[in-house]
Amino acid sequence: MQKKSKPSTGSCCHAETTTSHTSSISHELLCHFPYAVFAVALSLVFLTLFGYTNPTSYRELHGLFHTLHFLHILFAATGTVLVFRKYGGSLLGSLGVGMFVPAVFCTLSDAIMPYFGGLLCGIPMHFHFCFRDHFTTILLFLVVGVVNGIVMSFHDSDGQQKYATTAHFAHIFISAFASTVYMISHGFSDWYQHMGFVFSFLLIAVLIPCTLADVVVPAFFGGMSAKSARARRHGE
């Protein structure tokens, strides 16, 4: 009989379930750190190339933020469900986890943390809550992401690994770009004069929420779901 392999998180370092929860978080933060560094750096490069270093042009970025935010939710929902399923999560549980986790952490990374980052620098920021103003659109991207994750969970491990290696950086980059654009388009128009602070703060805003949403939280709930299913089977 072929030995069943241990579930992988689908992350860059593939932490196993045998690691403690605390060490797994630190492990994944270290693995995601290079992705976050390059993603935030590239987002600043693109903004500079697009010419958004002039405080009078920042309002033009509102549309770009929404596009990036919606795509971030799509990628996050897919990745969350995929990891949740890898750790034994049920199909029904995938719906709840796949909707809830991206909704919380994408909002935290793309809007809440950039908003408070501007306030910390003494900038009068405007807070825009997409779940209130664009709920129908966000719900659509969430549903498609969850369905995509469920479909991919039935692929073989090679197919899932292709997603992890090809789409993972794209996901982190979209998150970094969305956070950067939000900060700039909602008040921090003279970001170019504070690039060091913007880079450092956005690195934290991208690294922690994305690591938790991509791997740690869905892996935890997936393991809990699998444990509950085993307990029900043994109780029958």
- Predicted local distance difference test score (pLDDT) of residue 1: 43
In this prediction the pTM is 0.83
Between CA 13 and CA 17 the distance in angstroms is 13
The share of the chain scoring above pLDDT 90, in percent, equals: 36
Position 26 pLDDT exceeds 60: yes
- What's the token pair of residue 110? 């793309």
- Predicted local distance difference test score (pLDDT) of residue 20: 47
In a domain? residue 55: no
Q: Which has more confidence, 49 or 113?
A: 113
In a domain? residue 229: no
- Predicted local distance difference test score (pLDDT) of residue 58: 62
- Predicted local distance difference test score (pLDDT) of residue 159: 63
- Predicted local distance difference test score (pLDDT) of residue 89: 87
Position 21 pLDDT exceeds 60: no
In a domain? residue 24: no
- Predicted local distance difference test score (pLDDT) of residue 210: 85
Crossing angle of helices 135-153 and 157-185, rounded to 10°: 160
- Predicted local distance difference test score (pLDDT) of residue 40: 92
Local confidence band at 98 (pLDDT 50, 70, 90 cut-offs): very high
In a domain? residue 25: no
Local confidence band at 59 (pLDDT 50, 70, 90 cut-offs): low
- Domain, as residue range, for 77: 42-48+64-224
CB 207 within 8 A of CB 175: no
Position 44 pLDDT exceeds 80: yes
In a domain? residue 28: no
In a domain? residue 18: no
In a domain? residue 19: no
Position 18 pLDDT exceeds 50: no
Q: How many folded domains does the chain comprise?
A: 1
In a domain? residue 218: yes
- Predicted local distance difference test score (pLDDT) of residue 9: 41
Q: Which has more confidence, 9 or 121?
A: 121
Q: What is the pLDDT of residues 181-218, one digit of tens each?
A: 998 888 888 888 889 999 999 999 999 988 888 888 88
- Predicted local distance difference test score (pLDDT) of residue 2: 40
Q: What is the pLDDT of residues 154-165, one digit of tens each?
A: 876 776 666 666
- Predicted local distance difference test score (pLDDT) of residue 219: 87
Position 134 pLDDT exceeds 70: yes
